[in-house]
Each structure stands twice: as C-alpha cells, then as structure tokens.
Amino acid sequence: MGDQTSEVEDLERIFADTSAAPIKISYAAIKYITKNFAQVIGDGGFGVVYLGSLKKGMVAVKKLFAAKDFSDDQFLDEVTCLKKVNHRNIARFLGYCADTQGEVMEIEGKHRIVEVQQRLLCFEYVPDGNLHHYLKEKTHGYEWNVRFQIIKGICQGLHYIHQEHIYHLDLKPANVLLGANMEPKITDFGVSRCIGEQSTMVTKNFFGTLGYVAPEFIDKQQISLKSDIFSLGVIIINLLTGCHGPVTENWHTAIDVDCPQMRRCIEIAQICVNRDPHNRPTTDEIIHNLKEIETLYHANQTYKPKINEPRDDPRSSLHQIVHRFRALPAGNLREHARYTKVIYFN
C-alpha cells in the first residue's frame, strides 16, 4: 500500500506541475485512482477510457485492448510520441502503465493462470467536449472569433508536433478536445509516427478516418507531414461551414463571407486540401498568414466581442450537463462520470 500511495502522490505532483515529465505508473495505482475502473467515459478502436480522481483534479485513463493487432511496438511508438510533446494545444500526457498481470481464465474447459499485458495511458481530463460535438450543435450560433481562435490553436498544436518530427495521421474533430475558453487540445496519438529527417514514408497499413485522410495515402499509401495539413484543411472547412460531414467540391460558395479573417481562412483551407501534397502549405506558413490577418482585424476593430463557451450558452446541449456536473458533490465519481461521458466522448 505504501508504494501505491507514493505513486499516487507522484502522479499528483506531475498533475500540478505542467513542466514535469510523464512517469511510469503501476497497474495497482491505476486501479486505485479509477476506483477499480468503475466508470467508463468513452471508447474507441484501440481501447476504453475511464475516469480517474486525484486530490487536485480528475484524469482520463485509456486502457488499451489486449489485441493481437496492437503490438508492443505500437504502444512504444505512442508513448514515445506522447513523451516528446508538451504544449497548451496538446492534451497533456501524465503517465503510462506497462505491467503484466496473472489472471485466472478458463481455457478449453480448464482454469489456467494466464499472463495478461496491461497497457494504459493517463492524460489530463478536458471536460468541455470535443470539436465533433461542437460542430453537431446546430443551434449554438457561436461567433466567428471563437471558431477563428479554435483554428489558430489547432494550427499551433500541429505546428508544435511537426517541429518535433511527429506525424499525427488521425487529425479530425473527434480528436480535438475543447478546454477552458474554447482552447483546442489535440489528442489521440494512437497511429502517430515519430520520424527523422525523411519527408515521406510508405506504409502497408491503412489508418485514419475517411474524409480526413489525404488522397496520396489512399492512392499510394504515402504519408508525410503534408498528410496532416490535408486533415487540418478539412477541419478548417468544418469550422467555416459549421458542418462535420463530407466536404463538397464547392463548399466555399455556401459561406456568407463577412470578414477578412474568414476570407483568409477560406483561402488557407483551399490550399490545404490540394490533391498535390507539394502544393500544401506548412504549419509555419499557415500561422504566419493567420497572425497577419489577425493583426489587421484587431487594428480595425472598435470593440472586442465576448467569447461564449458552449457550457455557458443556454441553447447548447452542453449547458445543462456541465452546470449539473459543477453542482455535484466533490468526490462523487459515479455521478461525475454519468454526465462527463456525454460531454467528453460524444
């Protein structure tokens, strides 16, 4: 129990110090902070996410499936990528667990002790939903300046991981969480690649999400940093149009352009989704363009619009959920999970 308590205290320290490096966590400590995996708050193709509780806040623990098609090498790749990133627009990685546990299982009519690998990842908990949910809110009516700040934040997060020589390869609205003041945080590095100086790779495995996958990956199985730029372009189009479905060829003609920022973002999105990856811009070029138009926009602006978060907008489905969440007694893990499952992994 002493070692477990010490580990939880270490995790508390990492949680409080945003500059601290991620740590290894034992399976026992993970079971303790999740109340023995009491509450599921989401699931995906590679695992199930559970709610965890610390003294100073809450965490999200992703328990990966013990599947044959998810190897130790893939887990190592993901942890390696996650340990390299620390940025305000990336969901913060707190620690990992890579233990082996003996479990009693019935195999061919006989009970046997089987060694089961436990692979888990621990992250900061981001309670304001994800971008996919935001785009589904047809009645939200959030101002353009909010969407522009989301675009800028995603670009900054992507620029950071590209500087660290990481391909994300599954950038989409569901993998962008929204924190306080609608600050975007890129998450889910399950299919990411840490690369050296090479610019293009060829892979035999298909991954990513149709609609956001670059055409050269579908046609030639080629991946590069420009693959992420294509995905970024589709996300910008989603935010410009307010839709999260497939992008049509003439998507820009349906937008009522009312400001220079929006016109510039339309231009950026069009270049990002160019079929030729060589014609797509870098994140550095995109950020330069956004800063340039933002400076002009603020220079001509006579007032600063108020930014309304979804949880503060009575028209949003998140409004009631989040306010009930805030009113829950501290430490009530079961009730916290009941509401956070809706807003975090919808």
Active site residues: 170
Residue 301, phi then psi, degrees to nearest 5: -90, 130
> What beta strand segments (E) does 25-109 contain?
40-43, 47-54, 57-64, 93-107
Helices (H), 113-259: 131-136, 144-163, 215-220, 225-241
CA–CA distance, 247 with 177 (Å, rounded to integer):
21
CA–CA distance, 51 with 185 (Å, rounded to integer):
18
Taking the CB of residue 146, how many other CB atoms lie within 10 A of it? Answer: 20
Q: Is residue 68 marked as binding? A: yes
CA–CA distance, 327 with 103 (Å, rounded to integer):
40
266 exposure class (CB count in 10 Å sphere: 0-12, 13-18, 19+): middle
Binding residues are 68
Please enumerate, by residue number, every residue annotated as part of a binding site for ATP: 68
